[in-house]
Amino acid sequence: MTFCANKKFGQILSSLWPNFYKVFNLLKTNNTVNFIAKLLIGILYQVLRLL
């Protein structure tokens, strides 16, 4: 990956992170680990497609 892509990736992650945290805290109480895994995989797939 180039430096530019890394920088973009970092910006995307930093903008998504607060949302990850909120969702994770909500789901942690429901113990839906499978859903979290699917969500993370889906988001990573979308991010990698953008690069």
For residue 13, what pLDDT is reported?
Answer: 72
If you search the block for the tokens 């680990």, which residue do you land on? 33
25: which residues sit within 8 A by CB, 6+ positions away? none
Q: Model confidence over 1-51: pLDDT tens digits?
A: 566 667 777 777 777 777 777 777 776 666 667 777 788 888 888 888 887
Can you give the pLDDT at residue 28? 67
Output the pLDDT for position 15. 77
Q: How far is CA 28 from the centre of its chain?
A: 16
User: Are 50 and 12 within 8 A, CB to CB?
Assistant: yes
Please compute, for residue 30, the number of CA atoms within 13 A of its CA located in the half-sphere on the CB side.
Answer: 10
Predicted pLDDT at 2: 61
Q: CA 7, CA 10: separation in Å to the nearest integer?
A: 5
